[in-house]
């Protein structure tokens, strides 16, 4: 059972508020000085991954109070409720069991009185058979040629997960090239398909609901493109498969139900990469690698279930995040992978985190009086250094950041990797230690700058430092490591949602825009008098302006 407790009414919350004043008056440099064992004390390992929490503005007492906060807010009961398959997504009446998808039957779970382990295993087998057929060339297109390209059509969780993982695991790509089309902007589907051969292209239409406007529009355009070749309707079965929970709609679209890979309403869209939504990964990386990815996720689930708070990586990530958002005033969190292939990782967790915890109503239905989910953003290093790091180092905002790096590169070319790693280490060091006025002046003097020049410029060259970061270092970017990392972030989000007393698995906030877009579409497609009455002056004015530019007059 979820315990619907207002965290700001707990004893721990009050103490954390007081503690924040003390921490604000101290510095990371001092914390390191006063504890030579700080690195050892504040790093945690899982498999090859090391999570260095030592460059965070925390001490033993902060952790102890966060542990108390978790106890007062019922985090343990919340985790149990999730893993046991209780319908904790109460606003949609659904269980939250994405972790069961990577569990390989280790736990027996029932939903509505029926075991879900067998259906999960059956879909994995179907994915394996299908990907094997495709990779071996035994699945032929309508003209007898093998499939060389997969186009995954989906959006949000039906796109970001597979796309992010496919990119992150580039060194594991096989000869089948995966493409991802999400935006309803025709540019996306046109630019993707323009160089593809319909005879050798297979479409995966990925949509939990099979009714999302963007996905269905792109799917219909893909079908029209396919049928403009020598193919006929009956050939669709060889070139279109569906991943969905909605069999009826899949059949309505014209996809053979034997080409459908199911998942279930207890898998949230943004947590669905572990389900058949990962079909493109099984095909483009090989099923074995997809399975390794799932096993990596399971490893983190086991770690979460078996570790005490002090050793528990997702709990520490969650607690430190809450500490920054609610007590030290952070509005955002940056995720900076020093791994070019992980260039969509921050975007993926923008949805994962912001769609889950961007809520202003608590589980009792009351307005929230404290901050919930932070703004998530980021880009790979070193590129970010030449874009937004200026603000991270010298801006007026407080931005905790996660840095992710791997010791060994898949690309042993010259000294690229040492340079990449030296930048990662240097940035976290610079954020923490900064540069004092005395250091700047000494540096300028040594360079031979005049006293006038030093007096004028030195203030601008000072770095206040004391900016926190967590470093996450793995041995090598592998499917297992990525699976574990994603699961850690997922659990962090879940735990934070429990503490913030919000429902992390619905997303009502995206509905209004969808509804209004449906009322605007006819006003753009047909001339309609309705525009005169139904909209506010700005929206009405914009519609009229756009229609005029498009040669329509209403």
What count of Cα atoms within 13 Å lies in the side-chain half-sphere of residue 27? 10
Expressed in angstroms, the distance from the first to the final Cα of the chain is 55
Q: Is 415 exposed, middle or buried (0-12, 13-18, 19+ CB in 10 A)?
A: exposed
- Judged by CB under 6 A, the stretch of 1-9, 125-133, 205-213, 474-482 that binds ligand F6P is 205-213
Our finding on whether 156 is near ligand F6P (CB under 6 A) is yes
Q: How far apart are CA 165 and CA 400, in angstroms?
A: 24
Our finding on whether 510 is near ligand F6P (CB under 6 A) is yes
Q: Which is nearer to ligand F6P, 101 or 433 (CB)?
A: 101
- Judged by CB under 6 A, the stretch of 98-106, 208-216, 283-291, 534-542 that binds ligand F6P is 208-216
* Contact between residue 368 and residue 359 where contact means Cβ atoms under 8 Å apart: yes
Q: Which is nearer to ligand F6P, 426 or 510 (CB)?
A: 510
Q: Which listed residue (54, 131, 152, 212) binds ligand F6P by CB under 6 A?
A: 212
CB 376, min distance to ligand F6P, A: 15
Q: Which listed residue (10, 131, 182, 215) binds ligand F6P by CB under 6 A?
A: 215
Residues near ligand F6P (CB under 6 A), total: 14
CB 277, min distance to ligand F6P, A: 8
Q: Which is nearer to ligand F6P, 208 or 535 (CB)?
A: 208
CB 155, min distance to ligand F6P, A: 5
Q: Which is nearer to ligand F6P, 242 or 420 (CB)?
A: 242
Q: Show the CA angle centred on residue 159, arms to residues 183 and 194, nearest 5°.
A: 50
Q: Which is nearer to ligand F6P, 279 or 315 (CB)?
A: 279
For 471, the token pair is 């470093």
- For the chain, the helix, strand and coil percentages under 3-state DSSP, each to the nearest 5: 55, 10, 30
CB 507, min distance to ligand F6P, A: 5
Q: Which listed residue (54, 158, 356, 382) binds ligand F6P by CB under 6 A?
A: 158
φ, ψ for residue 43, nearest 5 deg: -110, 145
The residues that are catalytic are 355, 386, 514
Q: Show the CA angle centred on residue 258, arms to residues 254 and 263, nearest 5°.
A: 95
Q: Which is nearer to ligand F6P, 438 or 511 (CB)?
A: 511
Q: Which listed residue (8, 43, 128, 209) binds ligand F6P by CB under 6 A?
A: 209
For 385, the token pair is 């250094």
Residue linked to tokens 């939990």: 208
Q: How far apart are CA 166 and CA 513, in angstroms?
A: 30
For 506, the token pair is 């619905």
Mask for 99-138, x = binds ligand F6P (CB under 6 A): ----------------------------------------
Our finding on whether 467 is near ligand F6P (CB under 6 A) is no
The residues in 10-39 that bind ligand F6P, with binding defined as CB under 6 A, are none
Our finding on whether 269 is near ligand F6P (CB under 6 A) is yes
Other residues' Cβ atoms within 10 Å of the Cβ of residue 165: 27
Q: Is 397 exposed, middle or buried (0-12, 13-18, 19+ CB in 10 A)?
A: exposed
CB 477, min distance to ligand F6P, A: 25
Q: Which is nearer to ligand F6P, 54 or 207 (CB)?
A: 207
Q: Which is nearer to ligand F6P, 72 or 265 (CB)?
A: 265
For 204, the token pair is 């995966």
- 468-505: b or e for each residue (b if 16 or more CB lie within 10 Å)? bbbbbbbeebbbbbbbbbbbbbbbbbbbbbbbbbbbbb
φ, ψ for residue 67, nearest 5 deg: -60, -45
* Contact between residue 346 and residue 378 where contact means Cβ atoms under 8 Å apart: yes
The residues in 333-372 that bind ligand F6P, with binding defined as CB under 6 A, are 355
Mask for 392-411, x = binds ligand F6P (CB under 6 A): --------------------
- Judged by CB under 6 A, the stretch of 56-64, 206-214, 283-291, 334-342 that binds ligand F6P is 206-214
Binding site for ligand F6P (CB under 6 A): 155-158, 207-209, 212, 215, 269-270, 355, 507, 510
């Amino acid at each position: 059972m979820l315990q619907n407790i207002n965290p700001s009414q707990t004893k721990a919350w009050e103490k954390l508020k007081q503690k924040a004043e003390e921490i604000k008056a101290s510095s990371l440099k001092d914390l390191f000085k006063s504890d030579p064992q700080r690195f050892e004390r504040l790093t945690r390992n899982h498999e090859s991954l090391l999570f260095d929490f030592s460059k965070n503005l925390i001490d033993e007492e902060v952790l102890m109070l966060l542990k108390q906060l978790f106890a007062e807010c019922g985090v343990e009961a919340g985790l149990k409720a999730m893993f046991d398959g209780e319908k904790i997504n109460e606003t949609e009446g659904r269980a939250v069991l994405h972790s069961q998808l990577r569990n390989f039957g280790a736990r027996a779970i029932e939903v509505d009185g029926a075991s879900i382990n067998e259906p999960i295993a059956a879909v994995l087998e179907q994915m394996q058979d299908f990907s094997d057929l495709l990779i071996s060339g035994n699945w032929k297109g309508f003209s007898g040629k093998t499939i060389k390209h997969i186009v995954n059509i989906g959006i949000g969780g039906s796109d970001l997960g597979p796309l992010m993982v496919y990119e992150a695991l580039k060194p594991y790509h096989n000869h089948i090239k995966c493409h991802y089309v999400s935006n309803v902007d025709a540019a996306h589907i046109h630019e993707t398909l323009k160089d593809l051969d319909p005879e050798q292209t297979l479409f995966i239409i990925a949509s939990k609901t099979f009714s999302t406007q963007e996905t269905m529009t792109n799917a219909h355009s893909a079908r029209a493109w396919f049928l403009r070749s020598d193919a006929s309707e009956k050939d669709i079965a060889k070139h279109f498969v569906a991943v969905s929970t909605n069999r009826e709609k899949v059949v309505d679209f014209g996809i053979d139900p034997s080409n459908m890979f199911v998942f279930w309403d207890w898998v949230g869209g943004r947590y669905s990469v572990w389900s058949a939504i990962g079909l493109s990964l099984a095909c483009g990386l090989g099923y074995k690698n997809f399975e390794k990815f799932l096993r990596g996720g399971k490893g983190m689930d086991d770690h979460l279930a078996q570790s005490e708070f002090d050793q528990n990586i997702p709990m520490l990530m969650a607690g430190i995040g809450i500490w920054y958002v609610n007590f030290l005033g952070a509005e955002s969190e940056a995720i900076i992978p020093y791994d070019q292939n992980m260039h969509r990782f921050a975007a993926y967790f923008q949805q994962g985190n912001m769609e889950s915890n961007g809520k202003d109503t608590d589980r009792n239905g009351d307005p929230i009086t404290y901050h919930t989910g932070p703004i998530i953003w980021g880009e790979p290093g070193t590129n970010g250094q030449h874009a937004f790091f200026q603000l991270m180092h010298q801006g007026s905002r407080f931005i905790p950041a996660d840095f992710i790096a791997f010791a060994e590169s898949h690309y042993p070319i010259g000294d690229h990797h040492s340079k990449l790693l030296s930048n990662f280490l240097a940035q976290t060091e610079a954020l923490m230690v900064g540069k004092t006025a005395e250091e700047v002046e000494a540096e300028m003097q040594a360079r031979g700058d005049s006293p006038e020049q030093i007096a004028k410029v030195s203030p601008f060259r000072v770095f206040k430092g004391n900016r926190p970061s967590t470093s996450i270092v793995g041995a090598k970017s592998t499917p297992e490591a990525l699976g574990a990392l994603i699961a850690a972030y997922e659990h962090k989000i879940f735990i934070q949602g429990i503490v913030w007393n919000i429902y992390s698995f619905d997303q009502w906030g995206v509905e209004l825009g969808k509804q209004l877009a449906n009322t605007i579409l006819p006003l753009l497609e047909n001339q309609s008098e309705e525009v005169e009455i139904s909209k506010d002056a700005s929206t009405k004015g914009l519609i009229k302006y756009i229609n005029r530019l498009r040669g329509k007059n209403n």
